[in-house]
Structure 1
Amino acid sequence: MAHPYHHSVSSARTWGGDPADYQAIHDFMDSSKAAIADFRHRAALHHSSGIFIAERVFGHVLTNSAGRIVPVRLIAEQHVKEDLGRIPSFADWVRAIRPEAWMGPRSALERDILDGSAS
């Protein structure tokens, strides 16, 4: 989905209430667009750890305008699934990042893993 509002509409369809009930959570999940405005922003929160971070920020549940109690984790999971089709782990994202020299010195173990000589 292109915009947090559309995720909010989807959440309202799923759990009832008004899209505004869910907007803050979906804005949070896409807040990394402020740093990089393409699909790579998703590496920041679109994974299992990011879902738990959203729960810590917004609490375990919200009560929507229809009076229904909805787990925040389910709302964040819905967001990630709508964008990616599944919920990856943070490790899935990190494996896709190509290490660069400026990222820090490599240990002997890292050299072996990255160079393919680890057994």
Structure 2
Amino acid sequence: MAHPYHHALSSVKKWGGAVEDYLEIHSWYDQSKELIADFRHRALRHHAQGIWQSEAIFGPTITLSTGRIIPTRWVGEQHVREDLGFIPSFADWVKAIRPEPWMGRTEKIEAQVDPHMAPPIVEVA
């Protein structure tokens, strides 16, 4: 797996500037390695919605140390393409997750918490 530093070097080669201009964004994409230290960490942010999320966090553009302004999306798209070869959707990741029984277990709490669904209280005098 590429390190964020190497992704940042690739960004410098593409758009100029310095490694430090890109390192925070590339590190954000790979921060999920703290949860799982193999390629599955990518399911959290390496997809189209993750690219949009990075734009919401880092802003629509970044200003490089050279003064050049580039879209944050470009950096995210570059990162995901370098790791996966294309930009998947989140649905692409979900389709690859094998459902397990525990994932669908839910307790029916509606009658316990919704006063409109609970049986009426009958007062005995």
Deviation of 1:101 (Å)? 1.0
Q: Which residue of 2 aligns with 1:24?
A: 24
The answer for the alignment partner of 2:9 in structure 1 is 9
Q: Unaligned 5+ residue runs, structure 1?
A: 107-119
The CA deviation at 1:105 is 3.4
TM-score (norm 2): 0.82
TM-score where L is the length of structure 1: 0.86
Q: Which consecutive residues of structure 2, in runs of 5 or more, have no partner in the other structure? A: 107-125
Structure-1 residue corresponding to 2:114: none
1:51 aligns with 2:13: no
Runs of 4+ that moved beyond 6 A: none
Q: Specify the alignment match of 1:74 in structure 2.
A: 74
Task: Compute the RMSD of aligned alpha carbons.
Answer: 1.1
Instruction: Decide which moves more: 85-94 or 1-10.
Output: 1-10
**Structure 2 partner of 1:36:** 36
Q: What is the SS of the residue equivalent to 1:70?
A: strand
Following the alignment from structure 2 to structure 1, what is the Cα–Cα distance between the partners of residues 27 and 12?
15
Q: How many correspondences in the alignment?
A: 106
